[in-house]
Amino acid sequence: MKKFIKENRLYIIGSIAGAIGGFIYWKQIGCSTGTCMITSSPYRSTLYFAVMGALFFGIFKKEKHAEQQ
């Protein structure tokens, strides 16, 4: 478990930051009419931004390259 967390910490941090950002976005801006697919629900907004945060932070992950023989 520790190995998994250590290898994927950028994804985890990104998803947590995105989830917090998504909830704050829903709370502050949101969608007053309820017709917006993502921002009308706190669950959808939090989940969407968590995925976007994980993908964004994943850009900065360094890949391990196998040694060439």
DSSP state letters, 3-51: HHHHHTHHHHHHHHHHHHHHHHHHHHT--SSS--TTTTSHHHHHHHHHH
Average pLDDT over residues 47-68: 85
d(CA 49, CA 20): 8
Only one residue has tokens 């964004």, namely: 56
pLDDT at 53: 96
Q: Which two tokens stand for residue 47?
A: 């989940």
pLDDT of residue 34: 75
| Domain ranges, ordered by start, for the chain | 2-58
Taking alpha carbons only, the member of 12, 48, 13, 51 closest to residue 30 is 48
Residue 60: pLDDT over 90: no
Per residue in 15-57, pLDDT (tens digit) is 999 999 999 999 998 887 878 888 888 899 999 999 999 999 9
pLDDT of residue 55: 94
